[in-house]
Amino acid sequence: MTATLYDTSKGLVEYSYAGIGPAILLLKGGHSSRDTDLSHNSLIYEGYSLLTISRPGYDLTDTSTGRTPRAFAETIIEILDHLQIDRVTVIAISAAGPTGIALAVNHPHRVEKLIMEAALTTPWNAKTKKQARLLFGKGEKAVWKGVRTLLKVSPNLAMKQIMSSLTTDPVDEYLNKLSPNDRRFIYDMLQTSRSGKGFVMDIDHTVSDLSKITVPVLGMYTQKDKSVDYSNAILLQSTVPTCEIYEVKSDSHLIWIGENAAQVWNKRLEFISQ
């Protein structure tokens, strides 16, 4: 999809908007670039229009457009106004969870529904923050260049290194169960991953008061996610009265692949359309 730059009151924001039908706003997770597709682009073929907004520090979106989830939620409203979109169903993935929550809490009249896909509802812990700053601070370009080089030389080793932080299963066991299509999914995800200045901003994000969410919420999480612990799902379910948790039988953070990928897709469509 063609990317567009919009000059908001706080700086430039990159977005793409395609399709015809009810609007879905996609907020991608950490390390995801404009080219990273975790299958959501296919929503266009289901009769929806898909608005994908790059969060601050990712792609060409200025960091000044929102250093906090709440601040960027205000910028998102500017873009919705610009595109004359009244209401959207929001899909927040992984590290984009706090932004999706901020949008639902502060602008419930613009949010039809909120879907949290392996998405954070809690702040990052100190150890993770320290590691993230070391890897994805000033040296993030070198890190991803190294990953892409390793993908060419030894795809299996590259996947093993990344997936060891995303699954609670023994990583060799996990990789051996993947289908060729699943492997291609991970390969493409890693090939298009970039952190820019976005991820080091993500790790300092705070989360709005979940109890103030009034819109319908679907949370899709797996017990085997090593990156976003299942406690995020439990907190969401116990705090938000309008929340439904769908426990995905996935073996990793990547709930969009594996034997139960079709169920995830169908559950999302069911929730959007009901």
Residue ranges per structural domain of the chain: 4-124+205-273, 126-192
List 244's β-bridge partners, or say none.
Answer: 218
For residue 108, name the pLDDT band (cuts at 50, 70, 90): very high
What are the tens digits of pLDDT across the range 220-251?
A: 999 999 999 999 999 999 999 999 999 999 99
Is residue 1 over pLDDT 80? no
pTM over 0.85: yes
Sole residue written with tokens 């705070």: 206
What is the average pLDDT across 10-14?
Answer: 98
Strands 4-8 and 11-18: antiparallel
Is residue 100 over pLDDT 90? yes
Do residues 85 and 23 lie in contact, with contact meaning Cβ atoms separated by under 8 Å? Answer: yes
What phi, psi does 168 have (nearest 5°)?
-85, -10
121-130, 227-236, 253-262: segment of lowest average pLDDT: 121-130
66: left (phi over 0), alpha (psi -120 to 50) or beta: left
What phi, psi does 202 have (nearest 5°)?
-55, -45
Domain 4-124+205-273 listed as CATH 3.40.50.1820: yes
Is residue 202 over pLDDT 90? yes
What are the tens digits of pLDDT across the range 143-154?
A: 999 999 999 999
Do residues 159 and 185 lie in contact, with contact meaning Cβ atoms separated by under 8 Å? Answer: no
When the pLDDT of each residue in the chain is averaged and rounded to a whole number, the result is 97
